[in-house]
Amino acid sequence: MTFKSVDPATGEIIWEGAEHKASECLAAVSRARNAFPGWAATPLDERVEVARRYAAILKEKSEEVAHMISRETGKLLWESRAEAGAMVGKVEISITAQAERAGSREQSMPFGRAMLRHRPHGVMAVLGPYNFPGHLPNGHIVPALLAGNCVVFKPSEETPGTGELMTQAWQAAGLPDGVLELVQGGRETGAALLDADIDGLLFTGSASAGSHFRRLFADRPAVILALELGGNNPLIAWDGEPEALASLIAHSSFITTGQRCSCARRLIVPEGKAGDAIIEAAVELARRLPVGAWNEPDDAFMGPLISARTADQARAAVSGLQTAGAKMLLPETPLEGRNAAFMSPVILETTGIDTPDEEIFAPVLQIRRVTDFDAAIGEANATRFGLSAGLLSQDAELWKRFSLRARAGIVNWNRPTTGAASSMPFGGLGDSGNHRPSAYYAADYCAYPMASFEAPDMEPLTIPGIAKE
């Protein structure tokens, strides 16, 4: 079977190729398994040099990479260029993280020494998402290869071209055959890969897929799972100048057309005039956010969603909220000359009604009013997810209370919920992950610790009850 990726802004076919069958996935894992002993035994400094050559090639081809990301995802070019740059930067950050979190340590002992080393797991399967088709799988692959693992990588079926470019860059950097294998396809290809003899699954994607993987590997505890999933993320906007608050709300909720797992999905504001002013400013700014295609000359803040099908799913979720009693504050605006993949920001008020605790992966924001700050924290934590959360307030005491009680892995103050540093861990609690955060902490799940007692000379030990001769 063949499949293709399509520019959601234009419908142009970007990439077309064959879908890998189950037998081909097994063969890819087998090649990686055969390559593993040699790559694991390769000195770390040589693995580092390959990774640095890969970064240099990515930097040289950054414009090509950025254009491929934009064409496959519809993401605006300024965002895709930032993603390509983050892919380059990830290499040095991963090298530092590997040394800090998965390096070696020696301690002198009376008989010799105690040693700590870290060893690779083996063959890791990496399943990539479509929203950051370069940066997010890159954040698994780079530390996995530095640790000495081999990788079989399946990009999202929406973004195969980006995955192919990444793999070609590793090959050009001199990565040995079999160390990084690429398989292309959809759900069946992914299922075949996970049925194979892998040692780990490194996944970024939806919470529903993460739940499926937990069940799938329940009887395979030897397979390490690193799951970075979505969230129904809260943002408390409590006090401050309304226009400044609105800009932070827009960046939290509508950046990348709402297709970041850390986007704010729920805005929590105080009852009364202060909350009214925040809502009014947020709605007015969202109404004016420019929407455009990646290759148009005018500046824009949002592009299309990954597909018309995804946009229609978001529209259905909005309709469900309205049926449940949500009040529409900013309806979707028809975008002249745009196809169905384009979607303008939508804002609803859901105060006092039951709403599904689900992630709507689109530019859709739900607002709730609360009586006091304790109620705001309770509302923020009223979710099965725990990826990101934020507080917008000038009051440092409120930040202290919120940072102590917020149930999320990324908790920001007066910055967008989507703000995250590659030099920090990234991940969440509950249905947002499995307590193995990625980014800087990816080194933790890419290697296991090996502790040793070592003595250069063999000396007899005293056996209690037996006299020495």
For the question of residue 25 being annotated catalytic, the response is no
Would you give the distance in Å from CA 272 to the centre of its chain? 37
Separation CA 210–CA 228 (nearest Å):
8
Which residues, at least 6 apart from 177, have a Cβ–Cβ distance to it below 8 Å?
Answer: 31, 35
**Backbone CA torsion sign across 421, 157, 189, 166:** negative
* Pairing assessment for the beta strands 200-204 and 224-228 based on DSSP bridges: parallel
3-state SS of 91-102 is HHHHHHHHHHHC
Beta bridge partners of 220: none
The catalytic residue among 79, 83, 158, 228 is: 228
- Describe the strand order of the beta sheet including 364-370 as a list of residue ranges: 327-330, 346-349, 364-370, 264-270, 233-237, 388-392, 410-413
CA distances from 12 to 75, 76, 154, 308, 417 (A): 15, 16, 23, 14, 33
Asked if residues 139 and 446 have their Cβ atoms less than 8 Å apart, the reply is no
The catalytic residue among 25, 261, 263, 446 is: 261
Separation CA 252–CA 254 (nearest Å):
6
CA distances from 288 to 345, 365, 399, 415 (A): 9, 15, 30, 21
Asked if residues 410 and 421 have their Cβ atoms less than 8 Å apart, the reply is no
Encoded amino acid at 94, one letter:
S
For the question of residue 228 being annotated catalytic, the response is yes
Count of positions (residues) in the chain = 469
Strand ranges in 320-428 using DSSP code E only, listed in sequence order:
327-330, 346-349, 364-370, 385-386, 388-392, 410-413, 425-426
Encoded amino acid at 160, one letter:
P
50: helix, coil or strand?
helix
Strand ranges in 110-195 using DSSP code E only, listed in sequence order:
112-120, 123-127, 150-154, 180-182
Separation CA 22–CA 418 (nearest Å):
37
Q: Which residues are catalytic?
A: 228, 261
